[in-house]
């Protein structure tokens, strides 16, 4: 399903990413502000959607969406101040939730729009254009990190990576995940016109970013005193629990694209 959406691109891909961003923004808001009121949560959810939709219009669209989020949040703060004397700080946590959930999603939409000299044709008649190939590189690299880190950690894990933040993550699993994620990214490199050496360097950065993203979400859950970010997927937690590694990795890939003139 995800691969099909990446291949299709356009409004369907943008809409799917917007829905994921909205769910992630809701969960992020509840982690950062467990007692958040409906108006506060609504600002976060709508803000994340605006960021993704704004990305469909390019980088300027993201800036415009961020401006709308800031204005809406200050208006909400003003209204609450007029109704109660016990109002939290003006939106800093809500803006953080919007950026955390919405910005990487928006950058993924921009990444999907990249154009380049080559397409990826895994099967006869099935063509993934340049932007779709970059999205696949990002997604599969992060999936590889997550999958191998979990599997290797279960089998070989002996030394905890950071028990105060993530009580089950091990050094053995983390190293295995980073290595395999790097290999996946380097394997994709020729399909996007990059050398294997560049692919390895990018893969290392993407894989490490995936681990950091995972740890960051674990820290948020520890702060909120919950095991999972949500209950969207029974037995597997919320949307943030599924995309935590992707959050920082998308930013790394987009920064690389900016440096080499793709963005």
What residues have CB less than 8 Å from 229, skipping those under 6 apart?
A: 27, 28, 30, 31, 217, 220, 221, 237, 238, 239, 240, 241
- Neighbouring C-alpha atoms within 13 Å toward the C-beta of 230: 20
Interval 164-208: pLDDT, tens:
999 889 999 999 999 999 999 999 999 999 999 999 999 999 999
Query: Which residues make beta-bridge pairs with 170?
Result: 160
What residues have CB less than 8 Å from 215, skipping those under 6 apart?
A: 161, 162, 165, 166, 169
Interval 82-138: pLDDT, tens:
665 555 554 677 888 999 999 999 999 999 999 988 778 876 678 899 999 999 999
Return the structure tokens found at 167.
Answer: 């009580």
Interval 25-49: pLDDT, tens:
999 999 988 877 787 788 899 999 9
Q: What is the mean pLDDT of residues 139-149?
A: 97
Task: Tell how far CA 11 is from the center of its chain.
Answer: 19
pLDDT at 80: 67
Interval 50-77: pLDDT, tens:
999 999 888 888 989 988 888 887 777 7
What residues have CB less than 8 Å from 79, skipping those under 6 apart?
A: 39
DSSP assignment of the chain equals: -HHHHHHH-HHHHHHHHHHHHHHHHHHHHHHH-TT--HHHHHHHHHHHHHHHHHHTT-HHHHHHHHHHHHHHHHHHHHHHHHH-S---SSSHHHHHHHHHHHHHHHHHHHHHT---S--EEEETTEEE-HHHHHHHHHHHHHHHHHHHHHHHHHHH--SEEETTTEEEEEHHHHHHHHHHHHHHHHHHGGGGT--HHHHHHHHHHHHHHHHHHHHHHHHHHHHHT-SSS-SSBTTTB-HHHHHHHHHHHHHHHHHHHHHTT--
């Amino acid at each position: 399903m995800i691969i099909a959406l990446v291949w299709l691109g356009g409004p369907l891909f943008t809409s799917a990413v917007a829905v994921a961003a909205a769910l992630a923004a809701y969960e992020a808001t509840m982690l950062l502000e467990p007692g958040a009121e409906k108006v506060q949560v609504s600002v976060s959810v709508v803000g994340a959607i605006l960021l993704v939709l704004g990305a469909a219009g390019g980088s300027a669209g993201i800036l415009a969406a961020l401006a709308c989020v800031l204005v809406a949040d200050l208006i909400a703060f003003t209204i609450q101040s007029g109704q109660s004397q016990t109002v939290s700080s003006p939106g800093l946590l809500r803006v953080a939730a919007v950026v955390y959930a919405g910005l990487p999603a928006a950058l993924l939409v921009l990444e999907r729009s990249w154009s380049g000299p080559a397409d990826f044709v895994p099967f006869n008649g099935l063509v993934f254009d340049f932007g779709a190939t970059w999205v696949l590189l990002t997604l599969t690299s992060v999936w590889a990190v997550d999958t191998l880190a979990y599997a290797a950690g279960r089998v070989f894990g002996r030394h905890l990576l950071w028990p105060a933040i993530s009580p089950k993550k091990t050094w053995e699993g983390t190293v295995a995940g980073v290595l395999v994620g790097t290999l996946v990214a380097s394997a994709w490199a020729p399909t996007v016109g990059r050398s294997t050496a560049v692919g390895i360097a990018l893969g290392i950065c993407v894989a490490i970013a995936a681990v950091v993203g995972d740890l960051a979400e674990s820290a948020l859950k520890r702060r909120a005193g919950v095991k999972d970010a949500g209950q969207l997927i029974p037995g597997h937690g919320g949307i943030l629990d599924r995309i935590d590694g992707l959050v920082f990795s998308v930013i790394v890939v987009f920064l690389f694209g900016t440096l080499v003139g793709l963005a």
